[in-house]
Amino acid sequence: MDKKPNILLIYTGGTIGMIKDYESGALKAFDFNNLVKSIPELSQLACNIDSVSFDKPLDSSNMNPGHWASIAELINENYTVYDGFVVLHGSDTMSYTGSALSFMLENLDKPVILTGSQLPIGDLRTDAKENLITSIQIAALQEKGKPVIREVGLYFEYKLYRANRTTKINAEHFQAFNSPNYPPLIESGVHLKVYNEYIQKPKSIRRLKVHTRLNTNVAILKIFPGLNESVLNSVLNIPNLRAIVLETYGAGNAPIEKWFLVCLRKAIDRGLHIVNVTQCSGGSVIMGQYETSRALAKMQVINGKDITTEAAITKLMYMLGSNISSKLFKTIFETSLRGEMK
C-alpha cells in the first residue's frame, strides 16, 4: 500500500511562476504547467503531488478576500484526500493571505504552507526551487502518522514561520519575511530543525470549519506627527466603517491632545472598534505604560498587544464577518485565536 503523504499544490500566482515579457520587460504570470516542468526534482520527493491552479494566476497585489475564500474552499474541498497543502503565492501580500487563512480555517489540523520567491523559477539564481521543495517536504512531514505542522505556515529562505506572525520586510533580499514577535517553527539547514515547543497543537479534534464571510468595512490608520483633526475625522467617519487598526508609536502611545482624544471617543461611542497596534517592527503595545496610552485604555480602545498589522486587519474582517456581538468584541479580539498574539 502506498503510504506516501498526498500533497496538493495550489498555485495562485506570484513571481515564482512568472516570466519576462520580452517586449515590455515586465514580469507577468504564466501557465502553471511550466512551473512543474521547471523542477524535475519534484518527482524525487517522498510524497504524491497534485496541483491545481487559479484560472488566472495573480500578482498578489491583486489578491482580495474573494481570492482568500477561493483558497480556503479549495482546501476544504480537498481536505480529506490530502495530508498537506502548499500555496504558491506572490510575496507582496502573502502575510495578509496567511493571516486571513489562519482565521478562516478553524480547527485546522493539517499543514497549509504558503511560499513564493523573489526571483522567477526559471531564473538562474532563483530562490524558488529551495522554497518550493522545502515547503513540500514540510507539508509532508509526519510523526506517528500525524502531520507535524497543523497550522498555516509561511516558508521563505530557510525558515518556516507561523503565517499570522509574519510581515514582508524586504523587496529584494531573499530573506523577504520576518516574524518579529514569534520564533520560527522550523529551520532548514542540512537537516530540518523542528521547534516543537512553538508549534500550534490543536486543542481538540473538531471538524474543519471554513469561514469565508469577511467584512471589509475596515481601515488602517498610521498616526504621524502632524496628523490633523480633519484627516483623522474623515477617516473615522467613513460611511459604514466598522473597525480600524490604529498604528500608534512605540508601546501603543498616541497624542493626548484634546481634539485627538475627543475624535476617538466619539467614534467609539458610535460603535467603531479601534485596535491599538504598534507601528514599530517588533515588540508589544502595553496600554497604560505611558500617560500617552492611558487615555486610550480608559476609552476602551482594544489592546492589539504584539499582533502584526496584517493579522489585526484580517482578524477584524473575520470577526466582523462572524457577527461577534459588540459587547464581546474587545474581549475576543484581545484573545489569541490562532496563536496570532500573546
Give the residues lining the site for ligand ASP (CB under 6 A).
Answer: 13-15, 59-61, 90-92, 116, 118
At 248, list the grid cell. 500608534
CB of 58 to ligand ASP, least distance (A): 7
Choice between 60 and 303, CB closer to ligand ASP? 60
The answer to whether residue 308 is catalytic is no
CB of 39 to ligand ASP, least distance (A): 17
Identify which of 337, 282, 284, 287 has the alpha carbon closest to the alpha carbon of residue 315: 337
Choice between 119 and 208, CB closer to ligand ASP? 119
Choice between 13 and 111, CB closer to ligand ASP? 13
Choice between 116 and 147, CB closer to ligand ASP? 116
CB of 22 to ligand ASP, least distance (A): 19
* Cβ-proximal residues to 288 (8 Å cutoff; 6+ apart), any chain: 294, 297
Choice between 176 and 218, CB closer to ligand ASP? 176
What DSSP character marks residue 253? B
CB of 66 to ligand ASP, least distance (A): 16
Identify which of 330, 340, 337 has the alpha carbon closest to the alpha carbon of residue 275: 330
* Cβ-proximal residues to 15 (8 Å cutoff; 6+ apart), any chain: 27, 90, 91, 116, 117, 118, 119, 120, 128
Distance (Å, whole) CA 279 – CA 172 = 22
- CB closest to ligand ASP, residue no: 90
CB of 18 to ligand ASP, least distance (A): 7
Cross-strand partners of 115: 88
User: Given 15, 126, 308, 309, which residue is catalytic?
Assistant: 15
Choice between 94 and 319, CB closer to ligand ASP? 94
Q: Give, rounded to a whole angstrom, the gap between the first and last alpha carbons of the chain.
A: 43
CA distances from 65 to 70, 234, 330 (A): 9, 25, 23
Dihedral of the alpha carbons of 272, 275, 279, 282, in degrees to the nearest 10: -170
CB of 132 to ligand ASP, least distance (A): 13
CA angle 101, 123, 189 (to 5 degrees): 60
Identify which of 88, 109, 82, 107 has the alpha carbon closest to the alpha carbon of residue 15: 88
Active site residues: 15
